[in-house]
Amino acid sequence: MKANKTGIDRIIHATFNSMRGIRLAWKSEAAFRQEALLCLILVPIALVIDATLIERLVLILTLFILVITELLNSAIEAVVDRVGPELHELSGRAKDIASAAVFFALVLMGVVWGLILIY
């Protein structure tokens, strides 16, 4: 994006960049596709189950946290892979830590969904 873009023009270009990022993640990241499909199943469930508005919002929030974390994980992996294919301790650390973030997002989602659905 050019530095001289401001206001609504900047927002429009940023939106197109974001949509391109979503398309690229869908095309190249199996985990993103799986989690997006999981969201397509769970969001409607969150909207129809017997739950309060706040519980529904929390259920949906955990899904967004998962997708956001997966996108950041994929971005970190892409940057590390861009730097070079050789094994390096810091590259492995970056990928493993990003993967751990996705793991915690999945655990959060599982715990929240489990507790709300049980109680």
pLDDT tens-digit series, residues 81-119:
999 989 999 999 999 999 999 999 999 999 999 999 999
Reference 26, options 35, 17, 39, 14; nearest CA is 35
Q: What is the pLDDT of residues 29-88, one digit of tens each?
A: 999 999 999 999 999 999 999 999 999 999 999 999 999 999 999 999 999 999 998 999
Just list the catalytic residues.
70
pTM of the model: 0.91
63 Cβ partners below 8 Å, 6+ apart? 38, 39, 42, 43, 46, 109
Model confidence at 14, pLDDT cuts 50, 70, 90, reads very high
Return all residues near 59 (Cβ < 8 A) that are at least 6 apart.
42, 46, 51, 112, 113, 116
Indicate the pLDDT class of residue 5, thresholds 50, 70 and 90. Answer: confident
d(CA 87, CA 1) in angstroms, rounded, equals 32
